Amino acid sequence: MSTTIATKCVHIPADKDVKDVYGAMSYPIYQSATFAHPGVGQSTGYDYSRASNPTREYLERTVAALENGSDALAFTTGMAAITLLMELFKPGDHLVIDSDLYGGSIRLFQYVSEKNGISFTKVNASRGEVEAAIRPETKAVFLETPSNPTMRVTDLEELSGITRAHNLLLIVDNTFLSPYFQNPLDLGADVVVHSGTKYLGGHNDTLAGFLVTKDTEIAEKLRFLQKTTGATLPPFDSFLITRGIKTLAVRMDRANASAGRIAEWLRERPEVTKVYYPGFADHPGHDVMRKQARGFGAMISFELRDKDFALALLERVNVISYAESLGGVETLLTYPYTQTHADVPEDERIANGITDRLLRISIGIEDADDLIADLEQAFAAASK
């Protein structure tokens, strides 16, 4: 029987020994580092938790099902997932990447991957600049859509046609929309990246990362590398992310609806000079988003009249918290210039619109009227 993604979030088939024998509604935490062998040369299927653990495996099956992949791998953080992904490449390889990415990804590429002999060319993927940057040694294209923090939207079906023609991997970070709103593998991507810390976990209480693929060969390589390097998600964290996923649909629907209202409110404020939100009909990527996603997400970036006003606003919100991260039940206000994108070279920050006047807000599940009221009082207080 086919099920919608909302139902998949709640009902992923568990192992028979748990569901059929004990009737457990929640998959248990197998908090064990190692597993006993029934005999010499025999295994229960689990030997050592770095290589495999039942709780983590259940979570991985869940995420693979949500992204319509054949396999998913769970990591200690999103950055651990991307770090391992880069082990698919060797010295001399080249990647084309979007210039507007999470600052941690750019830091990894610039200070670790380049040291290891991998080179990168930054482009605006949403403007069709990828193909011109491809070289004979290019192996992959890496991007986010929408991008962090200026919400660039790239047509994944169109781009996947280019990557297939050049025999390249297409890697898409889907953290901003989650599998509830967008499934890049269905649009031609080869690997999907998630910071599970964000919408999948959804409660700002644990860290996690994921790589998802449909390709068996890629999955086998990633499994070998994960077992070898060891950044696998522990059992208790796997349980927390599994629990968070059960409410993914209702959280995303609520936050998505509130974000539309708040983006419109921000656009009417005289102190706001620009709002980055793909739900606006005049956003350059609006039509692409309508085609390839089931919602516009709950992320908004907005530019204020000057730096002093931006800093004052951060300190005057009450219901909203001034904090890094995104995707949790709480609404968070972030200053990309000194937080998420502080390690991006300043000239690149400015070129991408990440100025000292830009704020990013992750809408949570609070009542939208309460969030707007908090913003109203914060704007009034900051104006004084």
Pairing of strands 209-213, 71-75: antiparallel
Q: Where are the beta strands (DSSP E) in the chain?
A: 71-75, 94-98, 119-123, 138-144, 169-173, 191-195, 209-213, 272-276, 299-304, 321-322, 332-334, 358-362
CA angle 329, 336, 204 (to 5 degrees): 20
C-alpha 221: how far from its chain's center? 22
Name the token pair of 246.
């059960």
> Of 15, 46, 50, 243, which one is the catalytic site residue?
50
Strand partners, 332: 321, 362
Q: In what order do the strands lie in the sheet with 299-304?
A: 272-276, 299-304, 358-362, 332-334, 321-322
Query: Which residues, including other chains, have CB under 8 Å from residue 281's CB and lie 6 or more apart?
Result: none
Residue 191 per-residue DSSP state: E
> Of 122, 198, 214, 360, which one is the catalytic site residue?
198
- Cβ atoms 85, 60 nearer than 8 A: no
CA distance 373 to 316: 12
Residue 360, CA atoms < 13 Å, CB-side half-sphere: 26
CA distance 333 to 322: 5
CA angle 26, 32, 34 (to 5 degrees): 135
Give kind and range of the element (H or E) at residue 237.
helix 235-245
- Cβ atoms 381, 311 nearer than 8 A: no
Q: How crowded is residue 281: how many other Cβ atoms within 10 Å of its Cβ? A: 7
CA distance 36 to 34: 7
50 is catalytic: yes
316 is catalytic: no
> Of 93, 100, 173, 190, which one is the catalytic site residue?
173
Q: How crowded is residue 331: how many other Cβ atoms within 10 Å of its Cβ? A: 27
Catalytic (active-site) positions:
50, 102, 173, 198
